[in-house]
Chains A and B, each alone.
Chain A
Amino acid sequence: MSVTPMTSGTTTAQPKFRLPREAGLTESEAERVRALLGREPNALEWGMFGAMWSEHCAYKHSKTLLRTLPTTGARVALGPGENAGAVDLGDGLLCVFKVESHNHPSAVEPYQGAATGVGGILRDIFAMGARPIAVLNGLFFGPPEAESTRRIVRGVVGGISFYGNCVGIPDVGGHVSFAPGYADNPLVNAMCVGLVERADLRSTATAKPGSAVYLVGSDTGRDGIAGASLLASFELGSADAAKRPSVQVGNPFLEKLLLEATLELVALDAVEAMGDLGAAGLTCASSEVAAKSNVGMRIDVDSVPRRATGMSPYEVMLSESQERMLVVARPGREADVERVFARWELHGVQIGEVIADERLEIRSGAEVVASLPPKALADDAPEYDVREWAKEQDRGQPAVSTDEVISPGDTTHKIGLELLQLLGTPDVASRAILYRTYDQMVGTDTVVGPGADAAVMRIKGRSDGIAVALDAQPRVAALDPFTGAAAAVAEATRNLVCVGAEPLAITDCLNLGNPERPEGAWQLERTIAGISAACDALEVPVVSGNVSLYNATHGRDIWPTATIGAVGRIADVTKHIPARTGEPGDLVLLAGSAQVSLAASTYAGLRGQGEGTVRIDLALEARLQRFVRAAHARGAIRAAHDRAEGGLGVALAELAIRDRIGMKVTLPAVRGIDTRVMLFGEGPSGIVLVIRTADELLVRAIATEHDVPLWTLGAIGGDILEIAPVLGTPVEALVRAHRDGLGRALGRAS
Chain B
Amino acid sequence: MLKVAVLRFPGTWSETDFAHALELVGAQADILWHADADLRGYDAAIVPGGFTYGDYLRAGAIAAISPAAGELRRADREGMPILGSCNGFQILCEIGLLPGALVRNRQGEFRCDWVHMRVESDRTPFTGGLRGEILRMPIAHGEGCWVADDRTLARIETNGQVVFRYTDARGAASLESNPNGSTANIAGLANENGNVVGLMPHPERCSEELLGGTDGRRVLEALTASRHTGMVSASVQ
Contacts and interface: CB of A to CB of B under 8 A. Distances in A.
A644 B184 CA distance: 44
Interface stretch (A93-101, A186-194, A308-316, A431-439): A431-439
B210 A443 contact: no
A168 interface: yes
B51 A574 contact: no
A437 B210 contact: no
B73 interface: no
Contacts of B211: 441, 444, 446-447, 458
B104 interface: no
Interface in A27-58: none
Contact of A256 (B11, B14, B109, B210): B11
Interface stretch (B37-45, B88-96, B110-118, B155-163): B110-118
B161 to A, nearest CB: 28
Contacts of B112: 165, 435-441
Interface in B185-237: 202, 204-205, 207-208, 210-212
B205 to A, nearest CB: 5
A444 B20 contact: yes
Specify the main secondary structure of chain B where it touches its partner: mixed
The interface size bin for chain B is: 20 to 34
A257 B51 contact: no
B119 interface: no
B17 A443 contact: yes
A253 interface: yes
B11 A166 contact: yes
Contact of B50 (A168, A343, A435, A460): A168
Nearest to B207: A444
A345 B21 CA distance: 29
Contact of B111 (A343, A344, A436): A436
Contacts of B49: 442
Contacts of A167: 13
A252 interface: yes
Nearest to B13: A168
Contacts of B50: 168
A543 B202 CA distance: 36
Contacts of B142: 165
B110 A165 contact: yes
B140 A460 contact: no
A252 B17 contact: no
B140, B202, B212 pick with most chain A CB within 10 angstroms: B140
A251 B54 contact: yes
A344 B33 CA distance: 10
A161 interface: yes
Contacts of A442: 13-14, 17, 49, 140, 205
A166 B54 contact: yes
A678 interface: no
A446 B208 CA distance: 11
Interface string A253-283: 1101100000000000000000000000000
B205 A444 contact: yes
A161 B210 contact: no
Nearest to A253: B54
B55 interface: yes
B5 to A, nearest CB: 19
A185 to B, nearest CB: 26
Contact of A437 (B16, B55, B109, B212): B109
Given A344-B10, A444-B17, A437 B111 contact: yes
A596 B25 CA distance: 52
Nearest to B109: A437
A345 B17 CA distance: 23
Listed residue (B109, B208, B210) with the most chain A CB atoms within 10 angstroms of its CB = B210
A253 B56 contact: yes
Contacts of A168: 13-14, 50-51
A242 B205 CA distance: 45
Interface string A573-611: 110000000000000000000000000000000000000
Contacts of A460: 20
B202 A437 contact: no
B138 interface: yes
Given A253-B11, A443-B17, A165 B210 contact: no
B202 A441 contact: yes
A438 B49 CA distance: 15
A252 B33 CA distance: 20
Nearest to B138: A441
Contacts of B202: 441
Contacts of A574: 210
Interface in A329-361: 343-345
Contacts of A437: 109-112
**Which of the listed residues A343, A441, A443, A444 has the most CB atoms from chain B within 10 Å of its own CB?**
A444
Given A166-B11, A251-B54, A441-B138, A447 B210 contact: yes
A441 B205 contact: yes
A573 B109 CA distance: 33
Contacts of A256: 10-11, 13, 51
A521 B202 CA distance: 51
Given A168-B51, A441-B211, A460-B20, A161 B13 contact: no
B203 to A, nearest CB: 11
Interface in A439-488: 439-444, 446-447, 458, 460
Contact of B204 (A345, A444, A446): A444
A257 B53 CA distance: 10
Contacts of A573: 210
A460 B17 CA distance: 10
A725 to B, nearest CB: 37
Contacts of A252: 51, 54
CB-CB nearest 3 A-B residue pairs: A168-B13, A253-B54, A166-B51
Interface of B: 10-11, 13-14, 16-17, 20-21, 33, 49-51, 53-56, 109-113, 138, 140, 142, 202, 204-205, 207-208, 210-212
Interface of A: 158, 161, 165-168, 251-254, 256-257, 343-345, 435-444, 446-447, 458, 460, 573-574
Given A253-B55, A442-B49, A444-B211, 11 more contacts: A161-B110, A165-B51, A165-B112, A168-B50, A254-B54, A256-B10, A344-B10, A436-B113, A437-B109, A439-B112, A441-B205
19 contacts: A161-B110, A165-B110, A166-B51, A166-B55, A253-B10, A253-B53, A253-B54, A257-B11, A437-B109, A439-B112, A440-B112, A443-B17, A444-B205, A444-B207, A444-B211, A446-B211, A447-B211, A447-B212, A460-B20
